[in-house]
Structure 1
């Protein structure tokens, strides 16, 4: 636990925010009568574990991709382009180069190819899917709207009213799923070891899912339905949930689905116990 707290403190903002737990834990050990030499040896061992983990983490290629080139938008039919309201750049085009945890590579599990981009033929798979997106979005029930808001998970929503723009910060997809793990553990009255295991397994699944998903996103570089709907059907149309700042999120493959599927697969709790 001491090593875990120090590692968490190193990657949590603001730095130092978790050290209160560290002091509390060592204080409890001392108050419970742990011999001084045992406590000091425990702290020394925890520091060794912490330093080893942090050294290993720095070899994940994150620092290297910070200086990698930005994504170049190709404004051609069927390709992704920035979408309103932020028209933000595509996020993390080199994330697939990150070291994976359990996958042998980012492309170990490649999804099927997306439907062929075809808008002239209204019977094509792409056109039908695009119009289904619009039809469903235009006729949401109140229950569906609540579900959409619950799973929105846009950590940086841009609100636009006339010329006024302001951001609202909310849950991110992995943060949402880690919270669900906590709820499931509490409802199942899971003990400490089971709860820690569930958090760790879900976190690893989410981490690799991001890398795998981003690998395919930038391989397929596929247009978002909104872009084509705005161009061919209704230039003012917007989806019910606003686009995230990292606008590559909602194109092929669906980022939210990748996160949800991997988190659910990684769960140690039965579905009917949520």
Structure 2
């Protein structure tokens, strides 16, 4: 089975990111007040973007991070951002009553004025400090500093207090709901020494020299967590190509393709493997990369305040559900990574380009979450949509692999998702089958996110 890779695209090194900076407007909460739509046009995405960047800073700088726990956090951060301001936009609809077990959220006081940016501000600070209670005191100080700086932009003390109080109420309600999803304080149990991984042909083995210093499976029960959308929990687990060591089998050919790829990697393919590697011990992890692409999209499209909040909510919940479903599948099949099969059946001296992560292979989490993000962004911003991903610009060069981290240019969100999936094969840690199924499953998950009643 041949893998069809996209031809390399011309990359631009820089992108002029337009920052729309404007005053933070105040809006009345009366849905019968027809004049409310007029001031909304002046609200920029500045405050949502600042909180997105702060969130990714905390993800990156808090020890013990994982793509699983990070994805969950982004789901709740995005949802809280959206719900804290949804009543400020006449055409937007709350997701309470639509999500899995989220029955009711606090309501703003009728006929009272709210500064929606301050509501968002308070909600994000509350949620981030509670989701990352284990982060450093310096990071907590950074969160408080940003919250205080934005709070001071409102001169009317009564409006400021009312708005901040409402944002905290929303965040508190969502955080309490989050405690029942199965992933609460998941950072305390990243690796499970009691989990029994099956042994035998085709089963995953913890890598001796992998991405993680701990040779135990990461979050083996994550797939039992509650999804944001009920329909995503109901998706069937996809079929996997059955194990076979026969050279004429599909399984063998999938592994042989990975073996061959390692010997002919181009510089471009090495750069792609590095760019999407997103080791959570060094970066804001794969879901964080998708959340940052949401920011890049918002700035590139010059999206307004309210559209920005919905963008983060959709992307956050999409990648969160993608990781839950992917981990469910991983710990049903416990599928081996290419290295172990290649070592025992093809070549003992073969080595992969990128270190193995500490969990089974099928299907690719990178591919699934990238596809999920791409589909929700395409639904909101269309295709083609040209953008430059500068997520890792400025990162120190990888001297071991002789790779610089240079910005990558894309012509659509799916173009980026496709490259994300391919990067895992270039790294030697996934087969084409892993990637294709991941892209397919991520697409299904995102469509269920898009199908929510966002407009009311």
**1:18 shift after superposition:** 1.1
Are 1:122 and 2:238 matched, yes or no? no
Can you give the 5+ residue segments of structure 2 that lack an aligned partner in the other structure? 1-119, 388-456
Partner of 1:232: 345
**1:177 shift after superposition:** 0.9
Are 1:188 and 2:301 matched, yes or no? yes
Are 1:260 and 2:370 matched, yes or no? yes
1-structure distance, mates of 2:345, 2:163 = 66
SS of the aligned residue for 2:384 comes to helix
Partner of 2:160: 39
**1:41 shift after superposition:** 2.5
Partner of 1:102: 229
1:103–1:70 distance in 2 versus 1, CA, 3 Å: farther
Q: How many residues in Structure 1 have an aligned counterpart in Structure 2?
A: 253
Partner of 2:288: 175
2-structure distance, mates of 1:153, 1:48 = 34
Partner of 1:54: 175
Over the aligned positions, Cα root-mean-square deviation in angstroms equals 2.2
TM-score by length of 1: 0.84
Partner of 1:144: 269
2-structure distance, mates of 1:186, 1:45 = 27
2-structure distance, mates of 1:128, 1:209 = 27
**1:227 shift after superposition:** 0.6
Can you give the 5+ residue segments of structure 1 that lack an aligned partner in the other structure? 157-168
2-structure distance, mates of 1:47, 1:64 = 20
**1:247 shift after superposition:** 3.6
SS of the aligned residue for 2:230 comes to coil
Partner of 2:123: 3
Partner of 1:217: 330
TM-score by length of 2: 0.52
